[in-house]
Structures are given as C-alpha cells and as structure tokens.
Structure 1
Amino acid sequence: MKIKIILFVALVFCKTLFAQQKQKDSIRSNELSEVVVTGQFEPQSIKKSVFNVRVITKENIKQLAANNLADVLNQYLNISVTSNGDDGRSKVSMFGLDSQYFKILVDNIPLVSDTGMGTNVDLTQVNLDDVERIEIIEGSMGVTHGANAVTGILNIITKKGGGYKWQISATVQEETVGNEFAFFDKGRHIQSAKIGHNFNKNWFVNIGANRNAMAGFYDNKQGKDHDKNDDLRGYTQLPKEQLVGNAILGYQKDSFRIFYKFDYYGEDVHYYNPILNIQDNYPFLDTYFAKDKRYITNRFYHHLNASGNLFSKLKYNVSVSQQKQERDLENFEYQIETHNEFNNERNNYQSKEVFYSTGTLSNFFDNKKVDFQLGYEITNENGFYDSSVGAFRDDNQQAVDIRKRLENYDIYSVAEIGVSDKFSIRPGLRFSFQSAFQNQYASSLGLRYLFDKGLEARASLGKSYRTPNFDELYTYFVDSNHNMQGNPDLIPENSTSYEVSFKRACTFDSGAQISNNLAVTYLDVDDRIDMVVTEVKPTWNYKYVNINKYKMWNISTIEHYTYKNWNVMVGAAVVGISRKLDLAAENLVSDDKFFYSLRLNSSISYNIPKWNTLLAVFYKYNGQQQQYVAGKGIDGKASFFLEKLESYSWMDASIRKSFFKNQFEVTVGARNLFNVTNLQSVQSGGGVVSGGAHGGTSTDMMLGYGRSYFLKLTYNLNFN
C-alpha cells in the first residue's frame, strides 16, 4: 500500500507541475547530450534508444569516491551486493537472482570469471579508474548479448582519448575498515596514477596503474600473530592486495576508429587459520605455527576493436578479445614467534582462457526510417580445475582434474523500424550453436513511442537462456558424510521477461527541471537449475537438476529534480518473487506464492560555487525478503521452512572541494553510516534446513565491515 501511494503521488505531482508551468518539448540539456552505446546500432542519444537505459555517470562515481564496482552498486535500486568473509569477494544479485543471471561487460566485452563469461564476477576486482560511465539495461538482453543476460547487463564504458594534449592525474585515498585504521596494518590504502596523451588529432594513448591494499577486517578477531588457540586468530574479512594496470592505444580519422586495450589485474588474498599447532622446542617453551593459505589471481585482458564504413554506406563494428585468468593456491606454515613463513608450496588450481569475438554490420538501407543489423558472437572457453581444490572426484573417490572446452557460435539479427517520427519497432532474433548443450535461441521485441509534452513510452519482450556452469555440471563430492553431485545432462534454463516503462521530463521558467522514469518488469524462468535432495536416507543426497521455477515482477519509479545548485533523486520499487522448490525424493513441492519486498534509494547533492564545494548524500533501503528452503522437520521427515532475510539501510556521504582552478581535489566522506555488518537470516519451524542450520534459529550473512571513513586527494594536470 505504501509503494502505491508513493507512485501515485509522484505521478500526480509531475502532472500537476506540468499543468502549472510552461511545458517545453525538450528534456534537460544534459540528457539530450547523453550518449549511450549498449544495445544500440551505433552511439546515440538516450532519448532515441528503444531500450530503457540507466546511466551511472562519472560524476556519480566521483561523489562516492568509488574505487571498485561494489562501491557503486551498493546504491543501485534493484541490485543487492553481498560480501564473503571467507574469500573477500563481493557478488551481485538483481531481482532476487544471483550473479549467474547478470552479465558484466567492459566496452561490450564480457569479463572472464571463475565460472563464466561476464557472470559470477567479483565486484571488488573491477577497477573504476579509467571508467567514463556505466550503462545498465534491466531485463533480458539475450539477442544482443547472448547466454546468461537474463536479469540484465552492465556495460562499463572506459575513457578513450581526451580534450587536452597531456592529461596527468594522481590519487591517494586512505580509508578506515569499520573503526580500524593504521597506515600499514589496518584500513584500506589506495594509490593510482594516469597519463593520457594525444599525439595529434588522430592518435591517442592512455596508461594507468592502481594499487588497492585492504588490511582485513579484524572485528573480534586478533590478526595473524595471535598466539592462543581460542579461535580468535585471523580476520572476519580477509586481507587482500590488488594491483591493476591498463593501457589503451587508439586511432580515429573520419568514420574509422580502432583501439587496442590491455588490462592486467593481480590479487593476493590471505587466509590465516584460527587453529594453532604446537611445535616442541625443548628445553625451551613450546612454539606455535599455523597452516595458512594465500589465494593468488592473475588476469590478462586484451581487446582490439575497429569500427567504420564499408563501401561508403555499410557500418561495421568488430571486436576480438583474448582473456586469461589463473588462480593459484599457496599453502605455507607461519611461525607465530618469528613471523616467518616456511614450507611454501604454490600450485595453480583454476584457470580459464577465453577467445571471444563479436561484430555487427548495419545501415543496409539508404533510409533513415529503417535500419537492419547482422551480428555474430564467438566464444571459446578452456577451463581447468585442479584436483586438490574443489569438489571434483571420480566414482572411486579419487580427486580428479577437470579440463573442459565450452564453445558457442552465435548469429543474430536486429531491425529498427521507424514507423513514424514518434513510433519505433525493434525486433531481434539470435541462434546459438552450442558444443555442450542443445542449440539455443533468443528473441526480443522492443517498442518506443514519443507522446506529446515530452512523454516517452517503451515496451520490451525478451526470451533468453542461462547455460549451466562448471560446478553444476561436474561437481562430484561423495564420502560417508556428503553426497553432492553435478549433472552433465543439465539443459540451459529458459526465461521470458516483459518490461513497460514511461519517462517524462520537463524544464520550467524558474529553471527547475524534473524527470520521472516508471517501469514495470515481469520475469519467468523455467527449468531452473538447483541443487535438490534426491534421497534422504541414510544421508541426504544432493544433485543439480532442472526442476524449479522462478517468477518475479517489479514496479519501480525514479524521480529526478534539479533546481539551481540542488540535485535530488528519489527511487522506490516493489519486488515480488515466487520460487517453487521440488523435493523429488519425497514427492514434495513447495508453495509458489509471491513474497514482496520494498526497496528505496535516494541521493541529494548541493553545489556551493563560491567555495568550489559539492555535498552529497546517498541512501538505500532493502526491505525484508522471504523464501522457502528445504529441510528436516522435528520428526526427521523432509519439509519446507520459511526463511526471512531482515531489512537493512545503507547510507554514504561525501564532501568534495576543488582548489587551484580544479587542479587539486579533496574528498572526505563516510560509507555505511548505519554501521551495517551482517544481514540476519531467520528460519521458521523446528527442523533442520538442508544447509545444516536448525529451524527457528538465525544466522548472519555478511554485507560489509561497518561504518568507514575516507579521505581522497587527487591532482589533475591538463595542458596542450
């Protein structure tokens, strides 16, 4: 009821203002010049896009003092970010579905991850130093972006060239981790540098480097040198150090453009075992050592892109990318008294090498009202998992290495038809030739209509698919206490999404500007892959199968107001999720009723020109979420229990001041002002859920490390 009132008031308020003020046909000047590329035939204004594209600007990123993607997406309305204290990773979920359904790209190239291309990406591993803007499209994008683009796509557009002959910048950022800080042993310490040079009007080069050292979140732990066996050694969230290097070389002349981009990412994550081992040191006191680990990631990204005209009319855009990610595990023993490591042993336990290429041809007709695009996508993944890590065993319980190649060769076509100056239609179809599964297809239909008085209406229908990942296909971990099995016979999930959106913007004689974006989305996922119970006696046996269903609908509104030096955004959404579970072994099916959750977000900024100062506050609220989970009742029989994830609020704030004609910037602020650390999960009933927790009890899921404060210093030097 609350959200209905919010939406009603917002729409009536906007309508009333339109009636009281002089309406102008054009939207805000900055929106007119805002150009988007994701899902388009060619770069074009956001108003002309058939898709409802959301944009996170470089200014938004600067206000948040964001260093990685997790810092930004914590404030996005329909996205949730969760952290894992065991490996230090942050993952994204949209519309209640995890990161396997949401695709992350850099300049239209999906980013390699442990289990996929563009999916399951660790948000803390995506650096934002060279980012120009971020474009997000919610809903199925299977036609233009292939497998796993089910709930949406996020495309990071990097900076290419600049307006000066030389552009040099350097940044130092110091940040607390909760209330913990010291210049070397505690907190978060970031340094970065960038150099851009335009050789002439055609050639440019950009080079950058970044170091991000997070010393871990102690919380109630005592760090790596704690010398007691009281389970307090180590960290609640693991220490990590990240090194990033990137370079781009580009050339452009007339309609021809080509660039080569290289990225390197390196990460060390340190795990310190809470269990200490006694070492005899007779006749002196006993000494202690621990068996610790170090997770090491190296990722190399190459991207060559060329675009231009063929035969003076046809437009082409072709990208070729090669990416390689290797993850090593270094086991070592750490001597508490001497702080020395010994018996170090390092092995590669996971690697993935991918060749990827995508390209399009468009502008087949010499007609401004009709355009047609042909495209292709080639993905060749070579994956390796070492037998020493992970749940991969053969029928004789022996650990086995997994080496698999997954390939797909896709072709797709999209047409854009301007029926009139106001009405556009955009049908699309993709066919995917799969090496490991049955061939798949995706289809879409987009509509856009421009009404009078600045009202824009859009509608889209999309059919997409998600392919199973390595764990779902090849897991085999069976012993006296466990029975978890993958399933090489899995088939891809199929989904259908619908979205209708309305956008309206106007400018008043007073100079005030207001815009509203109202969207309604429905998503239906069939053949959903889940780990289900196949037997309950003598032990619970689990296997991945295509058995469950998932339905979601979402209604959201975003209001944007600007007046003089004020900029205000308010967003609200209601998400309803229906998740049907099936216990095949007991012939039990859960209730498929919808559970509803309220989401809110807002931001407010005020610019003080006299002081060259900008004040900004960001707020987000995630309401209570509910879902059914499988478990055992008090009588030992299989049953379903209702799990509740409690609500929480997240607030960030910053003050940014410029000095010396904007050459020097100082940003101070705070993240997570409400000091959120964990999200409480409560299971109703008196049994034991399949994950092992007792019904009627609560567990915690890590969201962050509490309230933190930061200071960021940036020096910019631009000259010709």
Structure 2
Amino acid sequence: MKLKITFLTIVLFCQIAAAQQKDSIATQEKLSEVVVTGQLEPQSIKKSVFNVRVISKENIKQLAANNLADVLNQYLNITVTSDGNDGRSKVSMFGLDSQYFKILIDNIPLVSDTGMGTNVDLTQVNLDDVERIEIIEGSMGVTHGANAVTGILNIITKKGGGYKWQISAAVQEETVGDEFAFFDKGRHIQSAKIGHNFNENWFVNIGGNRNAMAGFYNNRKGKDYDKLDGLRGYTQLPKEQLVGNAIIGYQKDDFRIFYKFDYFGENVHFYSPILIPQDNYPFPETYYANDKRYITNRFYNHLNANGKMFSKLKYNASVSYQKQERDQEKFNYQIETHEEFDNNRETYQSKEVFYSTGTLSNFFNNDKIDFQLGYEVTNENGFFDATVGTFKDDQQQLTDIRKRLENYDVFSVAEIGLSEKFSIRPGLRFSFQSFFENQYASSLGLRYLFSKGLEVRASLGKSYRTPNFDELYTYFVDSNHNMQGNPDLIPETSTSYELSFKRACTFDSGAQIANNLAVTYLDVNDRIDMVLIQAVPTLVYKYVNINKYKMWNISTTEQYTYKNWNVMVGAGLVGISRKQDLAALNVTSDDKFLYSLRVNSSISYNITKWNTLLAVFYKYNGQQQQYVAGTGTDGKTAFFLNEIKPFSWMDASIRKAFFKNQFEVTVGARNLFDVTNLQSIQNGGGGDTTGGAHGSGSSGAMLGYGRSYFLKLSYNLNFN
C-alpha cells in the first residue's frame, strides 16, 4: 500500500506543478479533438461537459489492431477477458462485466447474443473503417438508455474523404504463440477498401476483411490426429471471420444523410479429442469423431439523416435493423479420409432488432442555452433453443424460448452556459418497458474553465440494467444440479459520481503537456446474482436481486509531446465492495473494499529522416481480490478470499512508410511478457458446495496464447 500511495502522490504533484505554470503557457485545442458521443451536437472536447476519452486512428494503426480486443487490452480502466475455448473476448470495466458496458457504432448499439450493445464479443468488431473511438466512463443512462452503467464506447466510422478516389489494401500475417505456417497455423488477415466521391455531394465507401485464426495447438495435435490419447484438437479453437461493409452518403449545405450496411460472418470449429473406432475387419480399424462448428451471421443496417428544419431546429434521426443468427452444425469427421459425413445444421440462437433514435435541439436563439428532446425505440425478438440451455416459459413449461422485449423512451437534455466559463447540463429519461416496470434515468453535469487552461468537470448519473435472457429463463435441473432463472427479476439501479481535472498546455520550448485526473464512485443496488435459496434436501440456486456493489476509482493520465517524442503514463487505483448473500444458509460475505492498482503507458518516437515510427505499449494489471463461497475444513459454508495474481502486458511495433506514404510496413509483437494464464489463489475452503469455490490452493485460467509476432503490409492510394 505504501508503494501505491507514493506513486499517486507523485502523480498528484505533477498535476499541481502543471497547474502552476506561468502565463507563457497557452492551452491547445486541436480540430481532431471534436467529439460527438453524448453531445447535443459535434463540438470540441474542451467544450464537452463529459470527460470524453478518445482513441485515435493513429493509436489503432500503431497497435496494428484488427478488432476491438486488440485496442482495449491497453486501456487503463478496462479489462479484456477471453474464453480460451473459442477465443471470444468480453469487456469488463470497474470490475463489472460486459452486461454493464454499452458498445455502439455511430451511436447505434450493436446487437449481440444476449444484449443490445452489451455482451459484445470484441473479436467480432472489425476496425478497418474506424475513424476514432470515443469512451465515456460512468452512468450514461439519460442519453443511451438501459445498461449504460459503467460507461459507453462509441465507434465513429469513416464517411467520405477529401479525395475523389481512395483505395487501400492490407495483408497481415501473425503468429499464434510460436506457431505459424501460411495455411494451417497462425493468424492471416486480408482487407481492401475503396472510396469514391462522385462530386461534392455524393460519396460511397466499400470494404471487406478476412481474418482466419488457425487455432492454438499448444500440446494438442490438430484435427487429423489419429491416436487414442486425448490430444486431438486445439487448445484454442480455430475460426474464420468475414466482414463486408458499404456506406453511401449525400450532403449539401446543412443536410446530411447516409446508409450503412455491415455483414459479419464467423465459423468456429470444435474438434473432439475423443475418437470412435470403426470396425473394418479384416482391415485395420479406422476412426471418426463427433465434431461441430458454430456459425454466426450478423447483418447491420443503419440509415441516418441530420440537418435543420424551419431554418433553426437541428434534428438527427437514425433507424437501424439488425439480425444475428448463431447456428450449430454437428457432423462426423473421418480421420483417415479427412471427410465429413452426417452433417446436421440448426439455428439455436437468433435475435432481430428494430432500433430508432432521434433528437431535436437548438430551440433558442441564444448561444448560452441549448435544449434537446430525444426518443429511443427498441424492439427485440429473441429465440433460444435447448442447444444453448434449458429454459422455462411463463407457464413454467420446458420449451424453446422466443420472447419479444420492447421499450419506448423519451429523454431531454439542457445545456446552459451560466457564463463563458461555467456550464451546467441536466438530463432526464423515462423508459416505457413492455416486460419490466417502467424505468427512469437522470444526470447532472457541470463544467468550469479556470484560468491557465484548467478544466474541471463533475457529473452525477442514475441508470439501470435490465435482466438478460439467462437470468430470466434458465432452467438446468438434473440429479447433480438445480439452477433456475427468475422471470420476476427487477432491473438493477445504479448511481455514479465523477469529478475530473484536465489541463493541456504548451511551453515556450514547444513541449506540450496534457493532464487528466478523475475520481469516480459507483453504487449498484438490487444486483442480480445466482444464489443458494435451498440447502435441504437438495441444493437449489436461483437468480435473485440480492447483492450490492460499490466501487470507487482514482485515475490519472499524463501526456507529454516534445519534438518527435510522444509519451503517455496513466495509473488507476480501484476499490471494489461486493456484498453477497446466501439466503438459505444465512451466510453473508464481507463487504469491505478490496483494492487493485492499474498502470498503463505508451511511448513513441518518429524518426523523421527514415519516415519511421517506433511505439511501445505497456499495461500492468495489479492483484485482484474477491470473496467466493465455499466450504471450510469444518464442513460449513463460508466466504473465502480469492486472489488473481498481477500480470503485465506489453506490445511494440515499428512502422515505416515508403513512396510518399503510399506504402507502409509494420512489424511488431504482442504480449511480449508471454502471459498465457492468470494464476488464481484461494485462501481457505475445503470442498465445493456452492459452485463458487473448490478449496485452498491455486489454479489458472487461460488469458491468451502467449507472445506473438506480426507483419502488416498496407497500400493507400488517394487521387483526384
């Protein structure tokens, strides 16, 4: 703890020192720092009442990132968790999982298996046409509705360009750990884009991407291995992703309209380690296996129009239709002939969503007052069959489940400039729910600009999270298990507070410094968890609104730019309090705050003479602790402290441009410290009775496949 306090003292001293510079320091406001997320209209990041973090296109290029997981691995307050079996990655912020964090594309929440903008697989979000990524931490329920509890991430895509023709293509080859071959090992990515401005009004962009990950063998032997030793298959499953997108737009004067279409397809292949012999007497035995693949198809449509009406009112309206289907294809694979037979494909999960949102603003002819009215309509139709799990309907009958969830929301936001320096922004949303009780969200934001460029922001937000499909309808009962959903669940409610200090300045030497210090507090009530509700004669678990969650976080980011150098250092200390209750056993966990330290940094240097950029990214994830339920040596159920050991993650790249920046070569490495597993240690506990603990000792969860290397070749041609 002494080390943590010393580190934060140094950071705070840097903040105070920067705030005391002489009048020769001038604040900087760059055109590239225009943001749109949570704003009444696009405006500079300095004028935003929210503390918006921006991940630029340049940051994405330095990481040679192909999907969202590659980028967010380096973000300070976000943890990316990966499933070692199929490579799916989810986001966790402030210790709460992806159900509480909303991901949007051009302000439209992205459909996922069980959510709308939540539970998104980060590896399924391609970044080829991304202009920048904007992140706001804290409750954003007023402007973005349900489940925006810990924050939102908005991907801003590229629309049009400054040239008549824009053509680009890229090829990326990457190892998976130390495994690589051009066809059956490693990661292989190809992409191409073309953009055309027909005239000053019309533009069109078309692109495509293929990302093939051949699986992580580790100690496994692949799909054609024919020995009865359980080594057939892969440690991490192979998968192939195909992405296609197109956008067409028109703009004239104050009117803009665009239509965007995205297609995403993914095949994930599972090869069973169990071989089944075939009797071919008098010939030697042959083998086959019961294999399967998971097939995802997602279609995304977005029509947006914005402009002015009655020469004054500003409007912005979007309509989106999205559909995602997940199929499972079961088949037998003949090892000797490498052929499939008895294929059977069924859709086991699907979701169709109609979504629309719109705003009206600029009601007053007054630069100091603005007012926005908005609406949001969400209509989700979801289907899950018994392949996903067993479900009960409203009549408590075991069946496949098809449910329609709807909400119709109205919200209003005002932005009032009480003076040139002081702005206030209140907001309110009311949500008419088809399945749950009607909900509301509220917010209040304050911004004050002090002298010498110091910006202070404060915000208060109340939001809510609606229960997901599993929490409502799961019913898994056999001789060893009894786990039930609960259709009587109510939405969770949350309150967040944030206070931030920001300053950007320039010295006479040309050096630039930007400082951002933020303190956040989050309180979640009626938190849903699966708890033990009956102990005798059998153990029965059910999802219940029973737990509480509190979090506070202090984080700082320091950005230094001087000549060809760009250095960023960030640190965050997170304290989390979870109150967990086993109702049937009258056992409650300790709710004291448990702390974790996070540090991230990046450094880049531009060698102008060689047109080469060197970049290194580092993140330290400190020890994480949580109470989990288990049985002690006395046979009684209790909560024991579980610890996840700290680990570090480092990426590095070198990018060189040729032929007047038309051709770029990027080489680099991910996970330089070769992290593969998270070590988890439980202090106390003997046997498992609640499903949450398995006694004292240590265990490991797969985080990744270790150190990997990549080479990316990019070609860009722009001309009029």
Corresponding letter in the other structure for 2:313? L
Moved more, 490-499 or 636-645: 636-645
Whole-Å separation in 2 of the counterparts to 1:513 and 1:3: 27
What is the distance in 2 between the residues matched to 1:372 and 1:510? 43
Q: Deviations over 1:612-667 (max 9, x none)?
A: 00000000000000011112223333211111111110000000000000000000
CA distance, structure 2, for counterparts of residue 190 and residue 33 of structure 1? 29
Deviation by residue 1:77-117 (Cα, 9 ceiling, x = unmatched): 00001111223200110000000000000000000001010
Distance 2:108 2:395 in 1: 41
User: Which residue number corresponds to residue 324 of structure 1?
Assistant: 323
**Native 8 Å contact 2:629 2:692 kept in 1:** no
Change (3 A) 1:19 1:642: closer
One-letter amino acid matched to 1:696? S
Q: Contact between 1:392 and 1:474, CA under 8 Å: does it hold in 2?
A: yes
Output aligned runs, 1:482-631, within 5 Å.
482-631=481-630
Partner residue, 1:23: 24
Output the amino acid matched with 1:702.
M
Does the CA-based 8 Å contact 1:22-1:509 persist in structure 2? no
SS of match in other structure, 1:48? coil
Return the letter of the residue paired with 2:252. K
**Distance in 2 (alpha carbons) for counterparts of 1:342 and 1:447:** 64
Which amino acid counterpart does residue 10 of structure 1 have in structure 2? V
AA partner of residue 45 (structure 1): S
Aligned to 1:703: 703
- Which residue of structure 1 aligns with residue 122 of structure 2? 123
Cα distance in 2 for partners of 1:19, 1:50 equals 24
State the AA in 2 paired with 1:4.
I
C-alpha change, 1:542 and 1:569, in structure 2 (3 Å) is same
Q: Quote the offset at 1:536 in angstroms.
A: 2.4
Mapped contact 2:94–2:574 kept (Cα < 8 A): yes
In the superposition, the TM-score normalised over structure 2's length comes to 0.98
Paired residues of 2:299 and 2:322 also in contact (CA < 8 A)? yes
1:172 counterpart residue number? 171
| Structure-2 change in CA distance of 1:364 and 1:17 (3 Å) | closer
Alignment-derived partner of residue 334 in structure 1: 333
Aligned partners of 1:166 and 1:196 also within 8 Å: yes
What CA deviation, in whole Å up to 9, does each residue of 1:529-550 have, x standing for no partner?
0011112234321100000000
Query: What's the counterpart of residue 210 of structure 1?
Result: 209
Contact kept? 2:629, 2:693, Cα under 8 Å: no
Q: Distance in 2 between matches of 1:393 and 1:336?
A: 40
For residues 324 and 20 of structure 1, the distance between their equivalents in structure 2, rounded to whole angstroms, comes to 54
Report matched runs for 1:91-490 at 5 Å: 91-392=90-391, 400-490=399-489
Measure how far apart 1:699 and its partner are: 2.2
CA distance in 1 between partners of 2:17 and 2:84 (Å): 50
1:8 Cα deviation after fit: 2.8
Q: Who is 1:686 aligned against?
A: 685
Amino acid at match of 1:561: Y
CA distance in 2, matches of 1:390, 1:14: 52
Aligned-residue offset at 1:697 = 2.4
Counterpart of 1:585 in 2: which secondary structure? helix
C-alpha separation in 1, matches of 2:279 and 2:537? 43
Quote the Cα distance in structure 1 between the aligned partners of 2:248 and 2:14: 49
CA deviation map 1:27-71 (0-9, x unaligned): 2x53x5410000001100000000000000000000000000000
- Residue in structure 2 matched with residue 2 of structure 1 by the alignment: 3
- CA distance in 2 between partners of 1:634 and 1:14 (Å): 50
**Higher mean C-alpha deviation, range 393-402 or range 61-70:** 393-402
Instruction: Report deviation, 1:396.
Output: 12
| Counterpart-to-counterpart distance in 2, 1:554 and 1:645 | 19
Conserved 8 A contact 1:388-1:399? no
The answer to whether structure 1 residue 56 and structure 2 residue 58 are counterparts is no
Q: Distance in 1 between matches of 2:147 and 2:187?
A: 34
Maintained 8 Å contact 2:26/2:507: no
Choose 272-281 or 414-423, whichever is displaced more.
Answer: 272-281
Higher mean Cα deviation, 350-359 or 473-482? 473-482
Structure-1-length-normalised TM-score: 0.98
- 1:682 to partner: Cα distance: 1.5
Structure 1 pair 394/259, CA: closer, same or farther in 2 (3 Å)? closer
Deviates more, 1:393-402 or 1:348-357: 393-402
What is the Cα deviation at residue 202 of structure 1?
0.5
Q: Which whole-Å CA distance do the structure 2 matches of 1:18 and 1:448 have between them? A: 17
**Structure 1 residue 250 displacement after superposition:** 0.3
CA contact (8 A) 2:268 2:295 kept: yes
| Structure-2 residue corresponding to 1:719 | 719
What does 1:69-84 correspond to in 2, within 5 Å? 69-84=68-83
The whole-number CA distance in structure 1 between the counterparts of 2:405 and 2:631 is 38
Displacement of 1:414: 0.4
Quick one: which amino acid aligns to residue 408 of structure 1?
N
SS at match of 2:618: strand
Structure 1 unaligned blocks of 5 or more: none
Letter in 1 for 2:14: F
The SS at the match of 1:358 is strand
Tell me, yes or no, if the aligned pair for 2:392 and 2:473 is still in contact at 8 Å: no
The offset of 1:587, in angstroms, is 1.1
Q: How many Å separate the matches in 2 of 1:618 and 1:678?
A: 20
Q: Distance in 1 between matches of 2:421 and 2:60?
A: 34
Could you tell me how far 1:394 is from its partner in structure 2? 7.3
Taking structure 1 as reference, are residues 513 and 215 closer, same or farther at Cα in structure 2, changes over 3 Å only?
same
* CA offset digits 1:424-472 (Å, max 9, x no partner): 0000000000011000000000000000000000000000000000000
CA displacement at 1:230 relative to structure 2: 1.9
Give the conservation status (yes or no) of the 8 Å contact 1:641–1:695.
Answer: no
2:577 match: secondary structure: strand
Q: Per the alignment, in what secondary structure is the counterpart of residue 386 of structure 2?
A: coil
**Percent of aligned positions that are identical:** 81
Contact 1:603 1:616 in 2 (8 A): yes
Is it true that 1:641 corresponds to 2:640 in the alignment? yes
- 1 CA distance for matches of 2:395 and 2:22? 78
Residue 676 of structure 1 corresponds to 675
Q: Secondary structure at the match of 1:449?
A: strand
* Whole-Å separation in 1 of the counterparts to 2:643 and 2:134: 32
Report the CA distance shift for 1:11/1:642 in structure 2 as closer, same or farther (over 3 A). Answer: closer
SS of structure 2 residue aligned to 1:388: coil
Q: How many equivalent residue pairs? A: 718
Structure 2 gap segments, 5+ residues each: none
State the Cα distance separating 1:3 from its structure 2 match: 3.4
Contact 1:82 1:702 in 2 (8 A): no
More deviation in 600-609 or 527-536? 527-536
Superposed displacement of residue 16, structure 1 = 3.6
Which amino acid in structure 1 is aligned with residue 483 of structure 2? M
Provide, for residues 206-259 of structure 1, a one-character-per-residue CA deviation record: whole Å limited to 9, x for no partner: 000000000001111111112122221111111000000000000001110000
How much has 1:18 moved relative to structure 2? Answer: 5.9
Compared CA separation, residues 662 and 521, structure 1 to 2 (3 A): same
Q: Distance in 1 between matches of 2:518 and 2:18?
A: 21
Q: Equivalents in 2 of 1:340, 1:481: separation in Å?
A: 38
Q: Tell me if structure 1 keeps the 8 A contact 2:549–2:577.
A: yes
